[in-house]
A and B are shown apart, each in its own frame.
Chain A
Amino acid sequence: MSGLQVNLAGMLSLIQDLGRFGVAHQGLSSGGPADLHAHCWANKLLENSSNASVLEITMGNASFTALEDMLLSLTGAETAATIDGERLATWRSFVLHKGQTLKLGYAQSGFRTYLAVAGGFDTPQIFGSSATVVRNKLGGLADSQGSPIAKGDIIPVNNLAAKSVTTKSTSQWTPRYFIPKYSDEISLAVIESYQATQFDVEAKQSFYSKPYQISDKSDRMGIRLQGNSVQSGINGVISEGITYGSIQFPPNGQPIILLNDRQTLGGYPKIGCVSRMSLMKLAQARPGSLIHFYRGDIEFETRAYCQFIEFFSL
Chain B
Amino acid sequence: MTIDPRLRELRRVAIVPALNEVENIGRVIDELRAFDPGLEIVVVDDGSLDGTARAAAAKGARVLRLPFNLGIGGAVQTGFRFAFENDFDIAVRVDGDGQHDPAQLDRVLAPVLSGEADIVVGSRFAAMGANGYRSSRTRRIGIRLLAGVVSRIVGQRVTDTTSGFQALNREGIALFARDYPHDYPEVEATVMVFRHRLRLVEVPVEMRERGGGRSSITALRSIYYMVKVLLAIFVGLFRRNVVPQEGSE
A and B are interacting partners = no
- Chain A residues with CB under 8 Å of chain B are none
